[in-house]
Amino acid sequence: MLVLVLNAGSSSLKYQLVDTKTGEAIASGLVERIGIDGILKHEVGINKKLTFEIEMPTHKEAIELVLKTLTIYETKVIDSIDEIDAIGHRVVHGGENFKSSVIITEKVIKQIEELIPLAPLHNSANILGMRICQELIPGKPNVAVFDTAFHQTMPPENYLYAVPHEDYTKFKLRKYGFHGTSHSYVSKEAIKLLGNKKDTKIIVCHLGNGSSLCAVRDGKSLCTTMGLTPLEGLIMGTRCGDIDAGVIPYLMGKKNMDPHQIIDYLNKKSGILGLSGISSDLREVIKAANDGDKRAKTTIKMLCNKIKRFICSYAGLMGGVDAICFTAGIGENSDLIRENACSDLDFMGIVLDKEKNKIRSKENREISAEDSNTKIFVIPTNEELVIAQDTYKLIGKG
């Protein structure tokens, strides 16, 4: 079955055409700057890469172009859009309504619409993607896969905020957590690597531009670092992560900001970018630190300390940890961050093998020392595969 996996953002669109039989991505790409000018970077196989710079005023032109790259141009991999069996959409916020993936109906779209206040930019873009696919690829089923669904197993003591309870019952104010498809995929891979052991205690460190940790107990999310929105938790590319709520009115006063501006500031100007004053791209900050930049060095220390604090906290919550898994852009590629996040944890039985940690690979791999009680793995995430497989499962049944 061929599934077109779509991840529609406010001005961007990631896509992959996945063959669910092999799990392979036949073609993939990223459209950026929708509504500004428009650029599409398309990949077929490992070697064929093409860039199109075409005006894309809306997501409709962007998806039209994606379909053309799949069916017409020299990048063609299928003869017609009829060969696409279904479309799987990544949806950021499923609130408490969605505990697993669902086939998209008008009722489902309405429910996702109702969640827009919780993820204004993301859920609106996701709905737009669904509507356009219904129009451009008529008659084919669409499936929604939610970033929040995996975390719906968290118990109330881990998802409630310590504010009056009616804020939860009236306004649905609670921790939801994100990166669910990634945490689910990586923890399942880890369970396999642990020999399908029962009663597992796993910590997944999804470290990318957006980052979160998840404590996975027996394959289920027990706690995660992101909250009502993706702003909570770790220090990220441009997000501040956990801060004292008192910072918000203080900064609003000092900088004369309204609520919209302060949230924008904490989401887009803070984190690695704000701390280092260099970039949100950790590679550039690591380079500056190697050249002696003090702020860059402090940024890296803060980032790693925060990861370590959550590792310890989650190990405590689960009463131990069988495996710590690193994934996503930073987790898969930065031996420096992995080494520092795991340093000085030998008292807990967590010992990294520094040499194994330096080996670069795209495969699942173990980087813990022989005498480590806890396994440490690098597991490349594959959110698109999870979306394609969920789509297949639902459509197969349907």
Measured from the CB atom, is 94 or 210 closer to ligand ADP? 210
- The helix (H) or strand (E) run that includes residue 248 is helix 247-255
Structure-block tokens of residue 166? 């009616």
Q: What is the dihedral of CA 60, 66, 70, 72, to 10 degrees?
A: 70
237 is in an annotated binding site: no
Considering only 208, 230, 233, 241, the residue that binds ligand ADP (CB under 6 A) is: 208
Integer Cα distance of 162 and 156 in angstroms: 11
208 is in an annotated binding site: yes
Name which of residues 259 to 318 contact ligand ADP (CB under 6 A).
281-283, 286
Considering only 210, 227, 271, 380, the residue that binds ligand ADP (CB under 6 A) is: 210
Integer Cα distance of 342 and 350 in angstroms: 7
379 is in an annotated binding site: no
CB of 286 to ligand ADP, least distance (A): 6
CB of 209 to ligand ADP, least distance (A): 3
CB of 281 to ligand ADP, least distance (A): 4
Residue 24 Ramachandran class (φ > 0 left, ψ -120 to 50 alpha, else beta): beta
Does the protein bind ligand ADP through residue 334 (CB under 6 A)? yes
CB of 85 to ligand ADP, least distance (A): 26
Integer Cα distance of 18 and 198 in angstroms: 31
Integer Cα distance of 393 and 398 in angstroms: 9
70 is in an annotated binding site: no
- The helix (H) or strand (E) run that includes residue 190 is helix 180-193
Nearest alpha carbon to residue 279 among 206, 205, 209: 209
Nearest alpha carbon to residue 352 among 394, 296, 307, 286: 307
Measured from the CB atom, is 146 or 392 closer to ligand ADP? 146
Does the protein bind ligand ADP through residue 328 (CB under 6 A)? yes
Measured from the CB atom, is 12 or 134 closer to ligand ADP? 12
| Residues facing residue 217 across a β-bridge | 201, 220
90 is in an annotated binding site: yes
Q: How many residues bind ligand ADP (CB under 6 A)?
A: 13
Does the protein bind ligand ADP through residue 9 (CB under 6 A)? no
Residue with the shortest CB distance to ligand ADP: 329
23 is in an annotated binding site: no
206 is in an annotated binding site: yes
Measured from the CB atom, is 357 or 374 closer to ligand ADP? 357
**Cβ atoms of residues 376 and 368 within 8 Å:** yes
Residue 199 Ramachandran class (φ > 0 left, ψ -120 to 50 alpha, else beta): left
82 a catalytic residue? no
Which is the catalytic residue, given 147, 344, 346, 353?
A: 147
Binding residues for Mg(2+): 7, 383
Q: Which residues are catalytic?
A: 147
Which residues are part of a known binding site? 7, 14, 90, 206-210, 281-283, 329-333, 383
Q: State the binding site for ATP.
A: 14, 206-210, 281-283, 329-333
